[in-house]
Amino acid sequence: MDMVKQRVLPDDEILMHLNNAADTARIRLSYTHKIFFLRLLNIMTDDGTGQYIVKQTINEMATSLQIPARTITDCLAKLTACGALSNISGKKTRRAQIRLINKNIFLPREV
């Protein structure tokens, strides 16, 4: 998958926005959850409509990111609960789901 060509915020700013989203949702994110989110940005693609997605099964993510499937499942649940990700197709299975990444967390704000 191609990395999105648009300019992305530095990691520290992305993590600040991610922490703000988690605090608002009263979700506690671990270091693992935060690093997983940063690594998701490396495999996201632009779907052509300005939405940023990851379309891989949990097993495909485990292979491409070199993270255990159990950890990925936990991270996806936490990041979805805090609003950093949204599932836009599929159910909680190992089949491919389209996961929408909240672009307000990793892209510069329009002024």
For residues 100 and 45, what is the distance between their CA atoms, to the nearest angstrom?
10
Identify the residue with better confidence: 72 or 87: 72
Rounded to an integer, the average pLDDT of 93-109 is 75
Which amino acid makes up residue 12?
A: D
Residue 6 pLDDT: 57
**Each residue's pLDDT tens digit, 24-63:** 999 999 999 999 999 999 999 888 888 888 888 889 999 9
Residue 1 included in any domain: no
For residues 36 and 42, what is the distance between their CA atoms, to the nearest angstrom?
10
Residue 3 included in any domain: no
Note down the domain range covering 55.
Answer: 11-106
Query: Which pair of tokens denotes residue 49?
Result: 């409509």
User: Are 11 and 38 a contacting pair, CB within 8 Å?
Assistant: yes
Mean per-residue pLDDT of the chain: 84
pTM > 0.95? no
Residue 37 included in any domain: yes
Residues in the chain, overall count:
111
Q: What is the CATH number of the domain that holds 18?
A: 1.10.10.10
Residue 2 included in any domain: no
Is the pLDDT at 7 greater than 90, yes or no? no
For residues 98 and 111, what is the distance between their CA atoms, to the nearest angstrom?
29
* Count: domains in the chain: 1
